[in-house]
Chains A and B, each alone.
Chain A
Amino acid sequence: MNPAIPAPTIEYGTLAPLLVVFGAAVIGVLVEAFAPRYLRKAIHVPLTLLSLAGAFALVLLQVLRGQVPTAPAAMGAVAVDGPSLFIWGVILVLSFVCVLLINDEGHFVASAAAVPGSADEEEAESVSGGVGHTEVYPLVLFAVGGMLLFPASHDLLMMFVALEVMSLPLYLLCGLARRRRLLSQEASMKYFLLGAFSSAFFLYGTAMVYGYAGTVTLPGINRALSSGTGLDPLLMIGFALLGVGLLFKIGAAPFHAWKPDVYQGAPTPITALMASGTLVAAVGAVLRVFWVGLGNLDWNWRPVIWVVAALTMIVGSILAITQTEIKRMLAYSSIAHAGFLLVGVMATFGSAQQNAGSLKAILFYLAVYGITTVGAFAVVTLVRDPGGEAGHLSRWAGLGKRAPVLAGVFAFFLLAFAGIPLTSGFFGKYAVFAAALDSGTQVGDSMGGWMTGLVVVGVVASAIAAFFYVRVIVLMFFSEPAADGPAIAVPSMGTVAVIAVSLLVTVGVGLYPESVLGVADDAARSLFIR
């Protein structure tokens, strides 16, 4: 008699947010196939926004009912724990506001397949009547679904699948810019090639680690580490390769080279999504792999991450100084911030309970940095030249005179990035630095004084970074406006809402950080499922 194949148990309630997003994405594809062109956008916009809002409501429901699971769901494949739920909430909010930006007309090309500058392109433009590819919406939903799954994966294979689900739509989306299409296509190509490389690294690393541990589940790997010698070449190579794949996604040096090109070329709303949502998801995945999977190996990976973190902060801040393009500058700034986040990743302690402190810091940082980033990119979409966004920094000269409110808001976002007190960015930076020093002053921390050293590096990098943020403020406020300065587009309701929400959070959290810190604290206390 054939043995019966047991049906897998799936915790539908726990996984509901994921299912909603993926379900809506699939429906979105069907809409593309069956709905007439003129109706598509009208269907996509509410569908996308409602599914994201619904998923957020489901996350909220789980948190409020106090039923944060303590065991992995879907046969040990997905870990829906406190940190996951917090990260989900953050990603859903960020992608919701990014979708509001995406709704604006004029960001996306009407026909990506038409050769730039050709007759086909003109024809497609005239037929579409200014509405770009509506495939953007399902693509974004798939990417967001991947972002949700990535940091919540409980085994390396699931994580790889999530990585691909997240990345593939983003490669496409990067190439869909309506203006400067060659730049956009180049960005897409670069991102795809490098991203494919890094995925391969990740997969190869997974195989190596499997060879050592005999399992791909994160707790299983950790258990194998606790019994083994830990110096097995398979393990060492495997964990190095895994690290490359993950650090590539957060854009840590020396794997950061794609960021400026991709951020510059991609349509700005997509850049906003990548700079916020993808970063949040990737940092979540880094935490899960390094803290849960390699938790017993921290004396091995921490020195490596120390170097990467220091390098990332320094490279990001120094190279940003030489940038003359606003989106490239923000890309380098994002690299520097990835470095600050890695300082928090370094702050591990002897026991999981104590880790909650640094976990809280990182979660808080992700939330406030993400929303400020979206706000900053939203402002970038509004400053326009005849040929598209006014990217070159010299075009921003005297913006404080032309559009004092917009320039003031942008200046505030920059001050938040620089970490000036009374902005949310300051408390984010403070939180990770404090966590690192706290960890360093614990008895028995193998990195001891090195943690203080890393914080000092971080502080120096912040001072350098302040220089280029301040330079933009100088340009906007202290320089006389150029005679043929850029036009300020009349913002749509969506963009106004995005900027207003970002500003509100940046100011509000800057004055009263406890509002978000408290939530992050609750999330962190429930810890990763191990």
Chain B
Amino acid sequence: MSPWLPILMAVPVVGAVVVALLPKGSDKLAKQVTLLVSLLVLVLTGVMAAGFRPGGDRFQFRAEYDWIPSFGVKFAVGVDGVALVLIALSVVLVPIVVLASWHDADGVKTADGTLITPKRSVKTYFSLLLVLEAMMIGVFAATDIFLFYVFFEAMLIPMYFMIGSYGGAQRSYAAVKFLLYSLFGGLLMLVAVIGLYFVAKVDTRTFMFPELIGAIQDPTTQKWLFAGFFIAFAIKAPLWPVHTWLPDAAAQAPAGAAVLLVGVLDKVGTFGMLRFCLELFPDAAKAFTMPIVVLAVISILYGAIVAIGQTDMKRLIAYTSISHFGFIVLGVFAMSEIAQSGAALYMVNHGFATGALFLAAGFLIARRGSPFIGDYGGVQKVAPVLAGFFLVAGLAGLSLPGLSSFVSEFMVMIGTYQSPAHGSGALTVAAVISALAVILAAVYILWMVQRAMNGPTAEPVKAFKDLNAREVLVLAPLVALIIGFGFFPKPLLDVITPSVKETVTNVKVPVSTIAEKGTGQ
């Protein structure tokens, strides 16, 4: 029993209660308390992570308490490598988002003083943010599948209010669409979770993930349960054709919430695929590999092509994310260690890269009050620091070598190319096709940068102030991480690889095909 993870979850919850109970008019104090709490969580996570032994037990820092004995549900938490890096991603992003959202609830004004979004309750926003942080930690840490489900669904609510109350003009439409899509997927998963509980061949019925590995033998049952889980995760990730909620939600959410939505919440989908879909239902996963790979490749290309045509900056970034999630799903289902490690690494890197891009775009939009690329131009001349950060974030989005996303995208592609599964070479073809997206990525990013940052300075842009100290403080750590992990991804990979190895072992990718392929080349 290790108290670490429960403490990590309790601290933000306590913080949220404190922030919510602050007296009226203490908006500034609310922001400061939130920042302090999120930094405290970051430090605590750092201390905990330092004690993680890669190659040790698969789940470390485990804690188990009886929660609902009548249902056989435990409050059981523990992290493997992948979960640990995703928790780290979350707790790094939260203080950055707090700092970035400093004035989001104060009401956004354009340069000429028109109010775009009215003033909203600051305390509510920041206490929702802290509640969300606790749930993000919980969802990655849960080793009891029921508990995972509870967080999976419950975390929709704070995000729903953050989009609906604090977002742009179409916010309530976007918030409802987001909630209903996710809820529907989640309910299908609920059926699968209950089914898993009753049909699993274990001595005593349980929701504990480690005990349920390999407990479903019947292939038909596996397929149905797999479908229940996969649809929920595909909606969450989101995968084409159930992606349509993301551009709306991301475009309408305040920039900070969008970062957490795309950077962390959506990762729960791909994380769930990697952990639950593959390990609980290996036969079904193998049977469905090709259709899913096809969907992933469509997502990669579709997201990239549609992104090129976007005029709204935040929608553009959302579509690039759909393309990137395609890569992650491709990596997960390529069934090779390199591809899956790459996918797990991609989840983290995408969080940093897209986070930086969303925030930089958010700062830009806050200055002009318009999300449309066409309203900008020549920002470089008046706000060179902002333009510089925007460019680096953009380049990370197109996976430039030397920046962190390059490593993961390369690993996914090489791993898929060489994958031992499906000896027919279909995965090789998928890898080749998806490589086209690298070119498309250059188009959508560079074209956006060119239109917004270069060229003649548009009239309203001339009044732009460059980034202030707070804004630099927001973007600098992200850019540092992007560059740092671009040159030296080893610390992350060291943690990720052993737990991916476990996944690969549990899925039992046939070894014979590896040998065949080896001799064939």
Contacts and interface: CB of A to CB of B under 8 A. Distances in A.
Given A437-B198, A463-B183, A421 B71 contact: no
Contacts of A438: 198
A310 B190 CA distance: 18
B153 A421 contact: yes
Contacts of B67: 512, 514
A1 to B, nearest CB: 60
B194 interface: yes
Nearest to B166: A478
Interface residues of B, number: 34
A520 B404 CA distance: 54
Contacts of A470: 160, 176, 179-180
Contacts of B165: 477-478
B69 A514 contact: yes
B191 A422 contact: no
Contacts of B90: none
Contact of B194 (A421, A433, A512): A433
B469 interface: no
Nearest to A442: B198
A166 interface: no
Given A459-B187, A514-B69, A434 B194 contact: yes
Contacts of B164: 474, 477-478
A392 interface: no
A41 B363 CA distance: 64
Given A452-B195, A478-B165, A459 B68 contact: no
Interface in B158-191: 160-161, 164-165, 171-172, 175-176, 179-180, 183-184, 187-188, 190-191
A467 interface: yes
Contacts of A474: 164, 172, 175-176
Contacts of B154: 420-422
A460 B184 CA distance: 7
Given A421-B150, A474-B176, A478-B172, A434 B71 contact: yes
A513 interface: yes
Interface residues of A, number: 37
Nearest to A364: B70
B197 interface: yes
B123 to A, nearest CB: 11
Interface in A95-138: none
Contacts of A422: 150, 154
Contacts of B194: 430, 433-434, 437, 455
A244 B53 CA distance: 65
Nearest to B121: A404
Interface string A291-323: 000000000000000000000000000000000
Contacts of B68: 427, 513-514, 517
A462 interface: yes
A360 interface: yes
B199 interface: yes
Contacts of B179: 466, 470
A345 interface: no
Interface in B46-96: 67-71
Counting chain B CB atoms within 10 Å of each CB, the highest count among A421, A466, A521 belongs to A421
A471 interface: yes
A459 B191 CA distance: 8
Contacts of B180: 463, 466-467, 470
B17 interface: no
A135 B199 CA distance: 56
Nearest to B189: A459
Interface-central residue, A420, A431, A466, A471, by most chain B CB under 10 Å: A420
Interface string A26-39: 00000000000000
A433 B187 CA distance: 11
B157 interface: yes
Nearest to B184: A463
7 contacts: A421-B151, A421-B154, A459-B188, A459-B190, A478-B172, A478-B175, A512-B67
Interface of B: 67-71, 121, 149-151, 153-154, 156-157, 160-161, 164-165, 171-172, 175-176, 179-180, 183-184, 187-188, 190-191, 194-195, 197-199
- Give the 3 A-B CB pairs with smallest separation, nearest first: A478-B172, A421-B150, A459-B187
